[in-house]
Structure 1
């Protein structure tokens, strides 16, 4: 195996001074070569260029559109001073590109459009003291992209429209100062994103419209400081999104309009500052959402979620809320877990639908979860939601109870009135009880009755109505005329037992159904 030669720092500096054309020609003649600028102090070799105006001076180290051979390209511990640095449009091939512990104090550090190929790109321990560091539109391939322990004081570090294909991006323990970190419209394809232990003070962290395609994003134990954290309209495909034990400052955290697949979304143990956490109109697949033990000092908004019925697990167990929790406008098929939570403000549940399947209610923890939701609804004077959760709680208990007399009564209460919530269901049953009873009475009219067929039907209808509203005094006269309707009218005639049995049965059923209607109306208009 032939050993790859290395262009040493002194030789590399001399080649750089000859300009881009000579450099690229040398690279084409030496397609496999290591190049070392290790420890180079560039201001010593690259002098400022004075313009015609003597007050204007250009300090720039220019690798714009330079090509690099296959091999290790080393800028380890290089010092770029206060010069602008440009690698815009540069092309690297497979190998290692290292800026480890390099110093960039110039106002503009430009890697826009740089093609890193499948190289390992290392900026570990690098220091950026300027205003703007741009990796916009850069392309990273199948390699480690390491910004661990990087130090940035202020300004902007941007990866807008950058592409990461099978890359392993790491900002572990990075110190991001007051800089804004932006990945606007960046694309991650089968990549890994890791910000474990990174720390930001006041800068914003922005990932709007970023696309995570089969790419887990890990922000465990990161400190975001007081800037805004935005994943607005970001897309996550079927992979883990994790912010476990992460600390957020005063800035808002927004996932508004974001799209999630089947992966796990975990904020377990995270601490949020005064800013709002917003997931409004976010779209979820068969996700598992975990905020176990999280602390919220601002509002928590999960309103008007899209495809919320697909969520498989939604847990806030043990979390604490200083301001409101908003879950309105959703359709849940899983039971949000708010057990052991501490809520100091309002929980908003209005306009949400809760459709729990048989399998969901079979969960041993289902009853306690629903009971907690009922408690919170009652505490917020949301009577309709409290009644609805009570109904689900009773169904859940019924799933785990023996089928005895109490089980049957509970089952009938559910089916005939939805546990006192429905006016329509008992009204529907009351009407058909009345109508069918009328038909049966009409069939039993005595053949020697002097009334016409139409008059007999009306009399049966009135008699049936008197059984429905038997508690009204005016129905007594109607009931007294029944003997003329169902007998031959003789002095000793008695209403047949079958008619009396039907009347008693109808009366009993009607009283129960009317009670259920009154109960539902009372629950609906409860203050």
Structure 2
């Protein structure tokens, strides 16, 4: 009996990924619809050279398919970064050590599928970071060691699915931190060692499930 050979997963990466992204969401989404199982990698990409002065970088409405999406160590430069209403499938999504410059970062109503989402050690510059209404699926969500500079950080009405939510060692700047109306699942939620700045911190009407919730050593 001959053993079946698994087909090798194909990857859209580097300059080819950039060329397609530059064409806008309609052409990008059409391509992804025809190549839905491909991995997508912007590993180490410096998007700052894609800006006109401090213009916007937009991934708004982009569909990233149903496999891993990699922004590991990507650099976005100064200016707005827009991932609002972006759709991520059931692959691992990583922004590990990504560097966002000064400017607003918008993940409003982004939709993550059933796998891990990793923003650990990412750095956000001066500006507001908006993840309000973001939906996370079945998988761990990590902001371990993430640094937010001065500006508001908004997780209001975010929906965390089934999986650990870890903000251990996260550093917030002097703006408002808003988790109002956020929904956490039944797994562990950790703010262990997190540092909050001088702005208001709001957990009003947030819902925690049956898992442990840890604010030990938070400041």
Q: Do both share a fold (TM > 0.5)?
A: yes
Matches within 5 A, 1:52-201: 59-201=55-197
Check whether the contact 2:151–2:173 (CA below 8 A) recurs between aligned residues: no
Check whether the contact 2:144–2:170 (CA below 8 A) recurs between aligned residues: yes
2:18 aligned residue (13, 20, 23): 13
User: Which whole-Å deviations, capped at 9, do the CAs of 1:352-378 have from their partners, x for residues lacking one?
Assistant: xxxxxxxxxxxxxxxxxxxxxxxxxxx
Matches within 5 A, 1:225-244: none
Counterparts of 1:199 and 1:25 in 2: how far apart (Å)? 42
3-state SS in 2 of match to 1:100: coil
CA shift, 1:2, in A, is 2.1
Partner residue, 1:509: none
CA shift, 1:73, in A, is 0.6
Check whether the contact 1:31–1:70 (CA below 8 A) recurs between aligned residues: yes
CA shift, 1:152, in A, is 1.1
2:217 aligned residue (215, 221, 242): 221
Check whether the contact 1:35–1:73 (CA below 8 A) recurs between aligned residues: yes
CA shift, 1:166, in A, is 0.7
Counterparts of 1:2 and 1:15 in 2: how far apart (Å)? 24
Counterparts of 2:15 and 2:89 in 1: how far apart (Å)? 22
Partner residue, 1:36: 41
3-state SS in 2 of match to 1:187: coil
Counterparts of 1:167 and 1:155 in 2: how far apart (Å)? 28
Cα RMSD, aligned residues only: 1.4
3-state SS in 1 of match to 2:184: strand
Q: How many pairs align? A: 214
Check whether the contact 1:166–1:192 (CA below 8 A) recurs between aligned residues: no
- Scaled by the length of structure 1, the TM-score of the pair is 0.40
Q: Runs of 5+ in structure 1 lacking a partner?
A: 49-56, 224-527
3-state SS in 1 of match to 2:102: coil
- 1:138–1:82 distance in 2 versus 1, CA, 3 Å: same
- Scaled by the length of structure 2, the TM-score of the pair is 0.93
Counterparts of 2:200 and 2:93 in 1: how far apart (Å)? 28
Q: Which has the higher helix share?
A: 1
Check whether the contact 1:188–1:215 (CA below 8 A) recurs between aligned residues: no
